[in-house]
Structure 1
Amino acid sequence: MKKTLFLQAPSFDGFDGGAGSRYQAKREIKSFWYPTWLAQPAALVPGSRVLDAPADGLTIAQTLDIAKDYELVIIHTSTPSFPSDARFAELVKERNPAVMIGMVGAKVMVDPGPSLQASAAIDFVAREEFDYTCRDVAEGQSLSDIAGISWKDADGKVKHNAPRPMIENMDELPFVSPVYKRDLNIKNYFIGYLNYPYVSLYTGRGCRSRCSFCLWPQTVGGHRYRIRSAESVIEEVKWIKENMPEVKEIMFDDDTFTDFRPRAEEIARGLGKLGVTWSCNAKANVPYSTLKIMKDNGLRLLLVGYESGDDQILLNIKKGLRTDIARRFAEDCRKLGIMIHGTFILGLPGETQETIAKSIEFAKEINPHTIQVSLAAPYPGTRLYDQAIENEWIPPNKTINLVSESGVQLAALNYPHLSSEEMFHGVERFYRSFYFRPSKIWEIVREMMKSWDMTKRRLREGVEFFRFLRAHGAEQA
């Protein structure tokens, strides 16, 4: 077994990997998600280590000092971070020419050949789900025999092996939480809307929804929701409770945890017996009866992708949701006392100044406790990217800059009726309109009055939020 390092390479100050470190960018409030997609293959490789350099605050030099002692380094990358990740791979190779370096993630899955050719330091990239692929490489199997990789032979020629089948029995995968405890400092992981400290994990992979902008269901995860058994999920939460007693909340990071409602209810009842507080992603169409079962068994918050307040845009992106259903869902959550962190996206197909204003008013009407506003990102591998090419919403044959040099997300799309700059500055307008209301300010003040810890937390977030607005306003799209 090769001595293996699973690495999240040094990145932007204020890096937020988001959803298992799948989308690298800098957010309005500094936050870190667990590198779940690295921890899962690490659980299959004895003696391996997960190193999350951004969360640990490690410099390039410090990370290189650690990486130089490994025989195999596997780096998680994405479209925004790939250039800096490839450069870091070169620095690792300079220190230790014998090291084997691989990359994983949706970026290298959809673009394996050019990714390999981008740097002589990259020996292979993994396509499809890469858990067992990483294990096979670490075991020393010949690259030519490993399904699901593209690699370079001794002459530098790119070879593409047969695809690796999707994992069907998700219960076969070992728990990720022991890897978190072994390799990570959980105090580094902070999300503004989750109780601190928290732990996030997946109870399944894939998403049955067909949202045109969403990257992983269209690439690595797929559109079939492949699930762990309720017993497996409850057993891992029990392990966390017994071995990581400082954890105050469990976040289930499945794209849509509530897709299979009987299973969600079964898991909820098991969590209720354990007495844990938990949150999850949800589509804004969960019926009251399921919401009540989840709330009665420890559910605190739902992370909900509303995306837009305009029904035509929701239809354009194949969201499978209408605003009237989302309104009813929000009202049900309010009645039950379930908090919502709502996410919105500006710049989706059909966006205009009028629909931006409509989304802002919709957000104020349904009034999630907190929100996140992003810009539509045409990631290669998505239907949105194909549409952008077909309609020339992005410049042909040019590099797409999804983030600035400092890591702030940029508006990559340009419509004839709505410029990238208008979309970019719509983000701060959305935030100001939503948060700078007397009712919302009073809501936050009431929350702060409950505890000194919450007061300190919200004050720190407030400082970061105002810095974000100031920096965002100064950025050039």
Structure 2
Amino acid sequence: MQVKVISPDIVTYGAMVIGGVLREHGHEVSISRSIEETEVDVTLVISLYSTQHLMDERIKNLIASHRKRGGRCYVGGPVSAHPAMVLGELGPDAVVVGEGEVTTPCLILKGPSSDIPGIAYLGEEGMVYTGPSPPSSMKRPLPLIPSDIKDQNVRGANVYIETHRGCIGGCGFCQVPRYFGQDIRSRSIEDILTEVQVFKDAGANRISISGGTGSLYASEHGRMNVPAFVDLLKGIAGIMGPKNLSSPDIRVDCITNEVLDAIRDSTIGWVFFGIESGSEDILKKMRKGATVGQVREAVKRCRKHGLKVAGSFIVGYPGESADDYQKTKDLIEELSLDDVFVSAAEPIPGTPLADLVLSTPQAENPVYMSHTGDYRSLGLSEAEARAFDLMLHADLCKPRFTMTDDRTFNLYLAEVKKQGSDIRRATECLLRYVN
């Protein structure tokens, strides 16, 4: 059977894995980032990684057109956490809910059926949900790599490969522990290195490792397996070269001296911490499971090991006060991070943050509250204003002073306005499907 896997705009690693699995099952499979019509006898598998895809007219029109002509279309990916919303907004034949390595081949072969676990589809009396998908084996075929992988850029890498699934954390804004669970399931280092070589042969120049928190690779019962992680980095660097590997996503409570030395010696030398807030109250509301004191200590240790440190921050969390926000500004000034990423709180389906946003009146939600402070002439919401202000503030606090010019000002302004607009659209989409 002919199958086309579409991952809009960026071909994600997950889409490549599903493509490889389907190829292993004997299908003729192609993969693309382009949202374009194809022959009616080709089954479309669309992998969506952002809630914004549910409101993308290109995707809606593609699915509607393909089905109208008699073709079959299935949707999967992280958006499947709320299958009713996917069915209602996009109207595919079925949704693959959760991990798709086992479910998708069955769906391609049989079509929507109540005896296939992990799918949702519209029956005569409404949505039929067949229950959670079975956890996938970490032993799997090689991914289907697009021919233009070298041209793809995802935060500086051509691809983020998966070394394990699950995360011991329970951050309320994050989908990883809800999608994959909190137990760590790791791939063998031999399989990972074989895959890395295949990506390099296909033209990938830089690879990043992913899995929620990179240093949790091969962990068991919540305890880090530091030697395994060190060997992993050394092995990948031996294929790609140390300046062509990054291991950015690390929890502040998941580092050791050996881990930091390995990152320094085998990668581009950066650590990316999800710091999120300088307020202990907001960190608790976020269920972050880490303290500001741990953040300070982690950044200090990274500097001692000669590493560059980047941090991500979330503003506009429901319940964040002006005092909470000021504590975040103060922490950024104190830490003087090498790079900072700022976003407003987005309610991703299936997360506690989504539940919190849906239960918060709009008048009390910072993404809807009108900003009345220093940036009121820009027409921003309170969440947008805090994000904009924090971006400007972070530039002033970097070790190498960065002057904000008109171009940077306008880029930041456009970014926060887009974030605010996207989050409001996502919130309103969620509201349409609240039981």
- TM-score scaled by structure 1? 0.74
Question: Counterpart of 2:221?
Answer: none
Between the aligned partners of 1:142 and 1:215, the Cα distance in structure 2 is: 26
Match of 2:353 among 376, 384, 404: 384
Tell me how large the CA RMSD over aligned residues is: 3.3
Question: Counterpart of 2:400?
Answer: 440
Between the aligned partners of 2:407 and 2:21, the Cα distance in structure 1 is: 38
Distance 1:417 1:131, change over 3 A: farther
Match of 1:239, SS state, is: helix
- In the TM superposition, what are the counterparts of 1:166-177 in structure 2 within 5 Å? 166-167=135-136, 169-170=137-138, 172-176=139-143
Letter in 1 for 2:250: A
Cα distance, 1:430 vs structure 2:
0.6
User: Does the CA contact (< 8 Å) of 2:149 and 2:203 recur in 1?
Assistant: no
Question: Counterpart of 2:429?
Answer: none
Structure 1 residue runs of 5 or longer lacking an equivalent are: 11-32, 54-59, 397-409, 445-458
Between the aligned partners of 1:394 and 1:136, the Cα distance in structure 2 is: 42
Match of 1:151, SS state, is: strand
Answer yes or no: is 1:92 the counterpart of 2:66. Answer: yes
Match of 1:216 among 176, 181, 186: 176
Cα distance, 1:344 vs structure 2:
0.6
Distance 1:421 1:327, change over 3 A: same
Match of 1:213, SS state, is: coil
Cα distance, 1:412 vs structure 2:
4.0
Cα distance, 1:236 vs structure 2:
2.1
Answer yes or no: is 1:303 the counterpart of 2:278. Answer: no
Cα distance, 1:469 vs structure 2:
2.1
Letter in 2 for 1:79: T
- In the TM superposition, what are the counterparts of 1:172-187 in structure 2 within 5 Å? 172-176=139-143, 179-180=144-145, 182-187=146-151
User: Does the CA contact (< 8 Å) of 2:176 and 2:212 recur in 1?
Assistant: no
Answer yes or no: is 1:282 the counterpart of 2:280. Answer: no
Distance 1:144 1:395, change over 3 A: farther
Deviations 1:347-405 (A, max 9, x none): 22441222222212212322332211011112231112222334x24489xxxxxxxxx
Question: Counterpart of 2:214?
Answer: 257
Name which structure has the greater RCO, CA cutoff 8 Å, separation 6+: 1
Deviations 1:135-192 (A, max 9, x none): 2222346634322111235x5853222432112x31x22233xx22x4444213252x
Letter in 2 for 1:4: V
Distance 1:202 1:319, change over 3 A: same
Between the aligned partners of 2:41 and 2:366, the Cα distance in structure 1 is: 38
Structure 2 residue runs of 5 or longer lacking an equivalent are: 217-223, 422-435
Distance 1:44 1:472, change over 3 A: closer
Match of 2:242, SS state, is: coil
Answer yes or no: is 1:268 the counterpart of 2:233. Answer: yes
Between the aligned residues of both structures, percent identity stands at 20
Answer yes or no: is 1:68 the counterpart of 2:39. Answer: yes
Question: Counterpart of 1:143?
Answer: 113
Answer yes or no: is 1:338 the counterpart of 2:307. Answer: yes
Cα distance, 1:293 vs structure 2:
3.0
User: Does the CA contact (< 8 Å) of 2:368 and 2:381 recur in 1?
Assistant: no
User: Does the CA contact (< 8 Å) of 2:315 and 2:344 recur in 1?
Assistant: yes
Match of 1:137, SS state, is: helix
Letter in 2 for 1:98: G
Answer yes or no: is 1:207 the counterpart of 2:167. Answer: yes
Distance 1:438 1:131, change over 3 A: closer
Between the aligned partners of 2:134 and 2:229, the Cα distance in structure 1 is: 26
Between the aligned partners of 1:438 and 1:41, the Cα distance in structure 2 is: 41
User: Does the CA contact (< 8 Å) of 2:167 and 2:177 recur in 1?
Assistant: yes
Deviations 1:44-91 (A, max 9, x none): 1122122112xxxxxx6xx12xx2355211222343221323343113
Cα distance, 1:307 vs structure 2:
0.5
Distance 1:393 1:50, change over 3 A: farther
Between the aligned partners of 1:439 and 1:296, the Cα distance in structure 2 is: 22
Distance 1:415 1:215, change over 3 A: farther
- In the TM superposition, what are the counterparts of 1:6-85 in structure 2 within 5 Å? 6-9=5-8, 34-46=11-23, 47-53=28-34, 63-64=36-37, 67-77=38-48, 78-84=50-56, 85=59
User: Does the CA contact (< 8 Å) of 2:5 and 2:46 recur in 1?
Assistant: yes
Match of 2:128 among 143, 159, 172: 159
Q: Tell me the matched-pair count.
A: 396
User: Does the CA contact (< 8 Å) of 1:352 and 1:417 recur in 2?
Assistant: no
Deviations 1:394-425 (A, max 9, x none): 489xxxxxxxxxxxxx9646699999811211
- In the TM superposition, what are the counterparts of 1:323-362 in structure 2 within 5 Å? 323-362=292-331
Between the aligned partners of 1:269 and 1:437, the Cα distance in structure 2 is: 33
Between the aligned partners of 2:233 and 2:398, the Cα distance in structure 1 is: 36
Between the aligned partners of 1:305 and 1:381, the Cα distance in structure 2 is: 20
Between the aligned partners of 2:353 and 2:413, the Cα distance in structure 1 is: 30
Match of 1:146, SS state, is: coil
Between the aligned partners of 2:209 and 2:416, the Cα distance in structure 1 is: 34
Question: Counterpart of 2:430?
Answer: none
Between the aligned partners of 1:342 and 1:289, the Cα distance in structure 2 is: 21
Match of 1:147, SS state, is: coil
Letter in 2 for 1:305: G
Match of 2:199 among 226, 240, 246: 240
User: Does the CA contact (< 8 Å) of 1:49 and 1:183 recur in 2?
Assistant: no
Distance 1:415 1:211, change over 3 A: farther
Question: Counterpart of 1:400?
Answer: none
Letter in 2 for 1:71: V
Deviations 1:95-126 (A, max 9, x none): xx22111111333332x23532445x411111
Letter in 1 for 2:140: L
Match of 2:414 among 447, 468, 471: 471
